[in-house]
Amino acid sequence: LKGIPEYRLARKSHRPEGSVICIGDTEIGGKELLMIAGPCAVETEEQLFAIAQKVSDLGIKFLRGGAYKPRTSPYKFQGLQEPGLKLLSNVSKEFNLNIVTEVMDISLLDVVYPHTDIIQIGARNMKNYHLLRALGETDKPILLKRGMDATIEEWLLAAEYILLGGNEQVILCERGIRTFDNSNRNTLDLAGVALVKQLTHLPVIVDPSQATGNRNLIEATSLASIAVGGDGLMIEVHNNPEDALSDGPQSMYLKQFERMLPSLQNMATASNRIIDLKTAIQPVQVQEIH
Q: Which of residues 183-212 bind its own copies (CB under 8 A)?
A: 183-184, 187-192, 194-195, 197-198, 208, 211-212
Contact region for its own copies (CB under 8 A) — 29-37, 146-154, 231-239, 278-286?
146-154
Q: Where in 228-247 is the site for its own copies (CB under 8 A)?
A: 228-229
Q: Looking at residues 18 to 47 of the shown chain, list those that interact with its own copies (rule: CB under 8 A).
A: none
Phi, psi of 148 (to 5 degrees): -65, -20
Contact 263, 219 (CB under 8 A): yes
| Closest distance of CB 55 from its own copies, Å | 24
Q: Where are the alpha helices (DSSP H) in 59-123?
A: 82-95, 109-112
Stretch that binds its own copies, among 18-26, 31-39, 40-48, 264-272 (CB under 8 A): 264-272
The Cα 247–Cα 6 span in angstroms is: 36
Minimum gap (Å) between residue 154 Cβ and its own copies? 5
Q: Which is nearer to its own copies, 82 or 153 (CB)?
A: 153
Instruction: Note whether 76 and 246 are within 8 A (CB).
Output: yes
Cβ proximity to its own copies: between 27 and 105 the closer is 105
Q: What is d(CA 164, CA 175) in angstroms, rounded to the nearest whole number?
A: 24
Residues 6+ apart with CB under 8 A from 14: 8, 201
CA distances 161 to 11, 154, 157, 281, Å, are 13, 11, 6, 40
Closest approach of its own copies to the CB of residue 44, in Å: 23
* Footprint (CB under 8 A) of its own copies, residues 45-74: 70-74
Phi, psi of 57 (to 5 degrees): -60, -35
Residue selected from 166, 266, 278, 289 as contacting its own copies according to rule CB under 8 A: 266
For helices 218-227 and 190-199, give the axis angle rounded to 10 degrees: 30
Phi-psi region of 203 (alpha: psi -120 to 50; beta: other; left: phi over 0): beta
Whichever of 55 and 190 has its CB closer to its own copies, that residue is: 190
Single-letter amino acid code for the residue at 189: D
- Taking the complex as a whole, the smallest distance from the CB of residue 210 to its own copies amounts, in Å, to 11
Q: How far is the CB of 275 from its own copies (least distance, A)?
A: 13
Please give the Cα distance from 41 to 201 (Å, whole number).
31
Q: Where in 73-132 is the site for its own copies (CB under 8 A)?
A: 73-75, 104-108, 124-125, 127-131
Please report how close the Cβ of residue 179 comes to its own copies at its closest, in angstroms.
4
Establish if 160 lies at the interface with its own copies (CB under 8 A). yes
279 binds its own copies (CB under 8 A): no
For strand 21-23 and strand 26-28, is the pairing parallel, antiparallel, or unpaired? antiparallel
DSSP 171-203: EEEE--B--S--SSSSB--HHHHHHHHHHBSS-
Instruction: Closer to its own copies by CB, 35 or 157: give it.
Output: 157
Give least dist CB 10 to its own copies, A.
10
If the CB atoms of residues 240 and 271 are measured against its own copies, the closer one turns out to be 271
Nearer to its own copies, 125 or 169 (CB): 125
